[in-house]
Every structure is written in structure tokens, then in C-alpha cells.
Structure 1
Amino acid sequence: MEQKSCRERIHLELKDRLGDIRTLWRLYQKNPEASHRELGRFDEYGLCFDYVAKNTFRDQKRSYFRWQLSWGGPADEFRFYLDENVDAVLIEYWFLDWNDGASKKLSGDAYKLLDEIFQHFKDLGIVELERSKSLSS
């Protein structure tokens, strides 16, 4: 049986991710030390949060921040594109599998959730730290 394309799978993958993130974020807001029995802790969720400078990848025209959740095949991540005030103006979910990939712009409640999390990363100083690391390289 042939596997479906990333484009065919992205809706369900995003829905599952958002469910996990919503659960962990709510738990974290009540108690930052709390742990979910299956998902772990919010501050340990995913692989990394980093800054991807313009032209890091072929045909990449804009810089963005990446919250990478998984790596390999498949991989998935959220990308945050910012304005001059370092506020998110576009948030995308990317689902990537070997030689295939798809993205979806977030809107509505999904956008609000990820924007709130990005603001949290900003408040913690992670956004500025990651951007400064990239600029000093």
C-alpha cells in the first residue's frame, strides 16, 4: 500500500499536534512543573526552538523562528514569521517526510494558541537569545 502524501496527511497531523500542545500548555499554565503521563512536560516538548536565517535553505526568502517538534521521516515544526517589532505575523505548520512536504497557515484558535506560546518564548528571552546567536555566527 502506497503511503499518502504529506499534503494528504497534514490536516490530521496538525490536529493531533494541536491537541497535544493544547493539553500541555493548559497543564503548564496551571503548574509549570506538572507532567502529563504520556506527553511529558511542556518545557520538554519538541526538539528545539531556533532561528533560521534567510537563505539557510535553498529558495528560502525569509528568516523565521522554528519550533521543531520531530525530526527525520516524518518531521514536523511550526514556523513563526515576524514583523519589525518581533511579533508573529504568520505562523505555519510544516509536515515533512522523505522528499515530500506540506505546510498550512494557522488561523483562528490554532493561531491564537501558537502566538500565545511564541509570546511566552519571547517573555522568557528565548527569542532574543536565538536571534543573537544566529547574528553572532
Structure 2
Amino acid sequence: MRQKSCQERLEAELQDRLRDIRTLWRLYQRNPEASHRELGRFEEYGLGCDYVAKGTFQDQKRGYFRWQLSWGGPADEFRFYMDENLEAVEIEYCFLDWYDGASRSLSGEDYSLLDEIFQNFKDLGLVKTEHARSSGN
């Protein structure tokens, strides 16, 4: 049986991630130390955050701040494309599997949720630190 392409799997994977993130974010907002019995703590969700400079990957035209949730096959992440003031101007979900990948820009409530989380990353100093590290400053 043929495995579905990343494009065919994208929406279901995104909705699963958003459900987990909404649950953890609400919990975190009430109590940053709280833990969900299945998902853990918001701060422990995913693998990490970093800045991926323009040109890191072949044909990559823009840099972005990445919240990497998983890697390998499959991998998924949110990419925050920023302006010169490090404000998110586009947020994209990427679902990647061996030699295949698909992405979708967020809008509406999904965008608002991830932008709120991005602002939290900024408040914690992650965005500025990772951007400076990547650019050698």
C-alpha cells in the first residue's frame, strides 16, 4: 500500500499539532509549571527553537525562526518569517518526510495562536538571541 504524500497528510498533522499546542498553551498561561499527563509541559514540547539563516538550505530565499517539533521521518516545524524588527509577518507549518515535504501558511485563529506563542519566545529572549547567534553578532 502506498504511503500518502506529505501534502495529503499535511492538514491532519497540522490539526493534531494545533490541538496539542492549544491544550498546552492554555495550561501554561494558567500556570507555567503545570504539566499535562500525556503531553508534558509547554516548555518541553518539541525539540527546540533556532534561527535558520537565509541560504542555509539550497534555494532558501529567506531566513526564519523555527520551532522544531520533531525530526527524522517525518519531521514537522513552525516557521516564523520576520521583518527587520523581528516581528512575525508570516507563520508557516511544514511537514517533511524523506524526499518529500509540504507546508501551509497559517491564518485566522491558528495564526493568532502561533503569533502569541512567538511573542512569548520573544519575551523570553529566544528570538533575539538565536537571530544574533546565526548572524554572528
TM-score range, shorter chain: over 0.9
Q: Which residue matches 1:24?
A: 24
Q: How does 1:98-109 map to 2 (within 5 A)?
A: 98-109=98-109
SS in 2 for 1:136: coil
SS in 2 for 1:20: helix
CA distance in 2, matches of 1:116, 1:74: 26
Q: How does 1:23-102 map to 2 (within 5 A)?
A: 23-102=23-102
**Deviations 1:42-65, CA, capped at 9 Å, x for gaps:** 001000100000000000000000
**TM norm structure 1:** 0.98
SS in 1 for 2:135: helix
SS in 1 for 2:95: strand
**TM norm structure 2:** 0.98
CA distance in 2, matches of 1:136, 1:53: 11
Stretches of structure 1 that go unaligned for 5 or more consecutive residues are none
Counterpart of 1:95, as a letter, is F
Superposition deviation, residue 86 in structure 1: 1.0
Stretches of structure 2 that go unaligned for 5 or more consecutive residues are none
SS in 1 for 2:113: helix
Hey, which bits of structure 1, 4+ residues long, moved more than 2 A? Answer: none
Aligned alpha-carbon RMSD (Å): 0.8
CA distance in 2, matches of 1:94, 1:136: 26
CA distance in 2, matches of 1:111, 1:135: 27
**Deviations 1:65-93, CA, capped at 9 Å, x for gaps:** 00000000000000000112211000000
1:122 correspondence with 2:126: no
Give aligned pairs, total. 137
SS in 2 for 1:29: helix
Counterpart of 1:39, as a letter, is L
